[in-house]
Amino acid sequence: MNAALSLFPEYEIPDRPVSCSQRLQVVRVSLVKEKPLLYNSSRVSDSDQAVDAFRALLPDIDREYFVVFILDAKNRISSCNVVSVGSLNQSIVHPREVFKPAILANGAAVILAHNHPSGDPKPSSEDIQITRRLKECGDVLGIKVLDHIIVCDDSSYSLLNAGQM
C-alpha cells in the first residue's frame, strides 16, 4: 500500500503484498454552524425561557416541529437543531437524531421542544412516551434532558413542571 493512500501518511508501510477485497471509507464528522439567532435570555432557568427561545426560532409555523436546544454546563443555550418537521399533528423523532447535535456541540444538557399547531398544548401519550425514552437515552450518554415543552400560539406545557418526567 502506498503511504500517500494510508490514513497516516507519516507512517511508512513496509513493502509487502496486500490483498484488499473492500475499501475502507474514512469519514469526518463535524458540526456546521448556520446563522446565529438572538433571543432575550442568557441562561435557561425555567420553561418560559425555553418557550421564548422556541418562539424566537420558529414564529408562525403551521406544522409540527421538534427542536432540541443544546445547553452548556451553565444552562446557557449554545445551539439548537430542528430534529424533525412533521405534519399537522405528528413528527417522527428518533433518539439518534436528537442527541447527534448535542454530542457534536459538546452539550451538557438538552431541552426538547415541539409545537402543537392544533392549539392544545396537552401532551399526547406518544409525547410522554418519547420523552421518557429520550430521558433514558440521555442518561446513558451523560446528557441531561432537563425538560420537554410543548408550544402553542397562546399557551405552552412543560412536562417537567407537570411532573411527567
Does the structure show a pLDDT above 90 at 22? no
Could you give all domains of the chain from N- to C-terminal order, each with its CATH number? Answer: 35-158 (3.40.140.10)
- Backbone torsion region of residue 47, taken as left when φ is above 0, otherwise alpha when ψ lies between -120 and 50, otherwise beta: alpha
If pLDDT is split at 50, 70 and 90, which confidence band does 1 have? very low
Strands (E), 2-76: 65-71
Whether the pLDDT of residue 14 is over 90: the answer is: no
pLDDT of residue 80: 93
Nearest-10 Cα torsion for 73, 106, 126, 113? 60
Q: Which of 96, 90, 98 is nearest to 150 (CA)?
A: 90
Q: Which residue has the higher pLDDT, 137 or 39?
A: 137
Residue 109's pLDDT is 98
**Each residue of 93-137: pLDDT tens digit?**
999 999 999 999 999 999 999 999 999 999 999 999 999 999 999
User: In the numeric block, which cell numbers belong to residue 106?
Assistant: 459538546
**Are 159 and 165 contacting, i.e. CB atoms less than 8 angstroms apart?**
yes
